[in-house]
Amino acid sequence: MKFTCFDFETANYSDASICAAGIAIFEDGVLTESRHWLIRPPKGHGFFRPNFIECHGLTWFDVCDAPEFPAIAPQLLEFLTSADFVIAHNAAFDLRKLRGTLAHFGLPCPPLDCRCTLQLAKRAWPGLPSYGLDALAAHIHHGFQHHNALSDAEAAGRALLAILKEMNRRSPV
């Protein structure tokens, strides 16, 4: 079983404001590859809100020389579409940002079989006080740097593996 976890950080509330992306690829329960990109949001979508900077620590100066999304899209989409399924924590957020950014640049969004560790964790561990990625990572004893796209993607993968173990399943299908 091969799955790819992804995570985005954004500059602001715009669906086209991705400023960082992280990918973690797991094959048969083992992290086999990971990638991180800084991304310059397109003109009109690159204002970095102070509360977003506080969250992920990225500013315009970190990404002003980075490529825009179309430069990394082919590789990122290949990682997503080559997996048996994709994983994100709070997948609705990341899928909305992916679709919004692709639409902004007039790029097609491939169909993705996406699963959400937020929703899966609620089924695996009913009654946890929180289902945020930081709380899940603590629950499974996985240390990570929250709101770093690469670290978040890997944490989502580790959470999925723990969820599958808890549910005595080989796949979230």
Which tokens go with 121? 């964790």
Strands 2-10 and 30-38: unpaired
Query: Structure pTM?
Result: 0.96
Which ranges in the chain belong to alpha helices (H)? 50-56, 60-63, 69-81, 91-104, 117-124, 133-139, 149-166
Q: What is the pLDDT of residue 91?
A: 98
Splitting the chain (173 residues) into consecutive groups of 10 residues, what average pLDDT does each group show?
97 98 97 98 97 98 98 98 97 98 98 97 96 97 97 98 95 79
Q: Do 53 and 77 contact (CB within 8 A), yes or no?
A: no
Distance of CA 85 to the CA centre of its chain: 13
Distance of CA 143 to the CA centre of its chain: 17
Which tokens go with 61? 């100066």
Which tokens go with 142? 């996985």
